[in-house]
Amino acid sequence: MRRRVAWVVGVLLVVGVGAGGAWWWVQRESGRDDAARAALTRYVDGWRAKNLTTVRFAESGAAADFTRAVKGLGSAPVAVQGRAVRRDGTSATSSLDVTWTLPGKVAWRYSTPVRLVERDGTWLVTGPGDGSPWHPDLPAGGKLQLERTAPERGDLLDRDGKALMPQGTVYQVQLDPVRADAAGAAAVEQVTGVTKGSVSKALAERRRTGSQAPIPVITYRERDYAPLKSRLAAITGVIAPTATQPLGPTRTFGQPLLGTVGEVTAEIVDRSGGRYVTGDRAGRSGLQAQYDSALAGTPGLAVTTDRDATLFSTKAVDGSDVETTLAPRVQDAAEKALADSSLTVPGAIVAVDVKTGEVLAAANSPANGFDRAITGKYPPGSTFKIATTYAYLTKNVTTPSSTVPCPKTVTVDGRSFRNYAGESIPGAVPFSQDFAHSCNTAFISLSQKLATTDLTTAAKALGIGAGWADSLGVSGAFDGSIPETRKGTDQAAAVIGQARTEVSPLALAVMSASIGRGTYLPPVLVHGDAGTPRPAALDGRAVGQLRSMMADVVSSGTATVLRGTPGGTVRGKTGTADHGVDEKPYCWFTGYQGGVAFAVLVEQGASGGTVAAPVAKRFLTDLAR
């Protein structure tokens, strides 16, 4: 009996020891699995950071080799996911799913195998034996390179489908900081006329930092570069590599509306989300910048090795054309009129097709300023009397033949208003004559008969403040602001285009086009997907009366300088808008002739009739020719 008990106890002891040994073995193997997985996790984290210095490798120099291998991909971020670890004794395998986000948010995906080995209780990443661990088709010690193929840029097209700014050759004048000296920097400033000291300062900064990057100075089109070529070539360190970019027929054509294309700035690169890299060219301003994503297209990409093998590639996608409504003939006439008028202050001319509402021209002087023709905000002065008259006629406040006196002054709530230059019209004056001679006091004497929303409603019906700014196709377009008036002096000033009324030159041209058409159509400059807008009817009787009165402005009123203008009868309205105690007024003329409505702005002058109307005559005369 004792012998049997001892035997049983012995068996139980053996079983117990065996079970304990099995448990210990399972725990040990599980720990090795965990350690292998932890090594893979560190490897994945290093990939994501593009820094493998904290990863333990079986071979020395692996982390540095990774850095060299991927340097050619630049700042492209990488996403990495590790797969399951399969361990067999002291070795284990897995793989990485790698996704590089290349410029333009192009995803390059691949899988690459991973090998792990256990040495002295530590799991190490080891190479594949042949080839590189960074990509399955990269040779050992190989490097990845990113190549980009530029697409063909689309064109801004005119209303006939022709390029407004076809590709042309430019010369990019630069200074080589390695060869140039301070005297050369000063000389290139003098020859090119760039800001004095700007190149010298840039050269000093290159010397301080040791940078050998060329210093950009100025970019010329071929005709402008030719006269300066020999003088620039004589300056040590000056280089002038050529490039192609969209160019208008002249340096000022369509500026600043159309904009420019040039080398990307650091700011453009930063906000492009990887789409652009240093050295690329992109729209820098105007429509070229606004529609750059469509015009520029998508570069082709190729990831190659330093052994000329291609691992990944995409084809370049050429840019799309952007259709505008501009008419070069009308644009040329507008720019010529501004230039021939020898303005010493800023000005603008904008023209609209009466039939369609399409913008035909937007000219600015100076051309290197902002687009005042479309985005400017100005008090309209007496040009707004077109909208005021529409309100008066449709609200039965007056008729063209009604007598409305035109004294030198009129007082509203204690404030005295006067006419331009203290003028007056004696006797029983019909309202049509008040309109033709732009009599402020007559208009103000009727102002309180309007409701506080009547001016806003009338202006909107004609296109001012009508909400077309977002559908025009030009960023920053201003369609006008005619807020509800307050009875008294605010309403009195508003009826003559002062107080809080604001317009752009385009808004006035839209108003004149509405009178010429007899309906309101929102203007269009860049064709989009909105479809053809539907016209909104105007009061036919009021429109007819306004057309007659606008003709009187030219035949016998404040714009007689336009009598006999080639191209037919001109109908319009002058405007002189105060905007500061010591400032000369804004000078306006807006109207239409045949199928072209227009507005002219000169930012300082005596009056609309003496300053803006002559510019309008030049424009219409050039257009008729």
For 613-624, how does the pLDDT look when each residue is reduced to its tens digit (9 = 90+)? 999 999 999 999
The model's confidence at residue 4, banded by pLDDT at 50, 70 and 90, is: low
Fold category of 156-320 in CATH? Penicillin-binding protein 2a (Domain 2) (3.90.1310)
The model's confidence at residue 78, banded by pLDDT at 50, 70 and 90, is: very high
For 25-51, how does the pLDDT look when each residue is reduced to its tens digit (9 = 90+)? 566 678 899 999 999 999 999 999 999
| Domain at 31-142: CATH architecture | Roll (3.10)
Say what the pLDDT of residue 9 is: 46
Where in the chain are all domains bearing CATH 3.40.710.10?
328-624
Burial 611-620 (b: 16+ CB within 10 A, else e): bbbbbbbbbb
Of 159-173, 430-444, 521-535, 590-604, the least confident: 521-535
Where in the chain are all domains bearing CATH 3.90.1310?
156-320
Angstrom distances, CA of residue 560 to CA of 432, 464, 552, 566: 16, 26, 9, 14
How many residues would you count in the chain? 625
> Is the peptide bond between 400 and the residue preceding it cis, with omega within 30 degrees of 0?
no
Strand partners, 238: 175
Question: Average pLDDT, whole number, for the chain?
Answer: 94
Decide if 598 contacts 351 (C-beta within 8 A): yes
Angstrom distances, CA of residue 556 to CA of 225, 400, 520: 51, 15, 28
Average pLDDT score over residue span 474-485 = 98
For 135-150, how does the pLDDT look when each residue is reduced to its tens digit (9 = 90+)? 999 999 999 999 989 8
CA angle 221, 222, 227 (to 5 degrees): 110
Judged against a pLDDT cut of 90, whether residue 162 lies above it is answered with: yes
For 369-425, how does the pLDDT look when each residue is reduced to its tens digit (9 = 90+)? 899 999 999 999 999 999 999 999 999 999 999 999 999 999 999 999 999 989 999
The model's confidence at residue 281, banded by pLDDT at 50, 70 and 90, is: confident
Radius of gyration of the chain (CA): 37
The model's confidence at residue 542, banded by pLDDT at 50, 70 and 90, is: very high
Percent helix, strand, coil in the chain, to 5, is 35, 25, 40
Judged against a pLDDT cut of 90, whether residue 132 lies above it is answered with: yes
| Domain at 328-624: CATH architecture | 3-Layer(aba) Sandwich (3.40)
Residues 6+ apart with CB under 8 A from 602: 343, 345, 346, 347, 586, 587, 611, 612, 615
Say what the pLDDT of residue 269 is: 86
Say what the pLDDT of residue 86 is: 96
Distance, CA of 473 to CA of 182 (rounded, Å): 47
Say what the pLDDT of residue 2 is: 53
Judged against a pLDDT cut of 70, whether residue 434 lies above it is answered with: yes
Say what the pLDDT of residue 221 is: 92
Decide if 112 contacts 135 (C-beta within 8 A): yes
Two tokens, residue 473: 């196709």
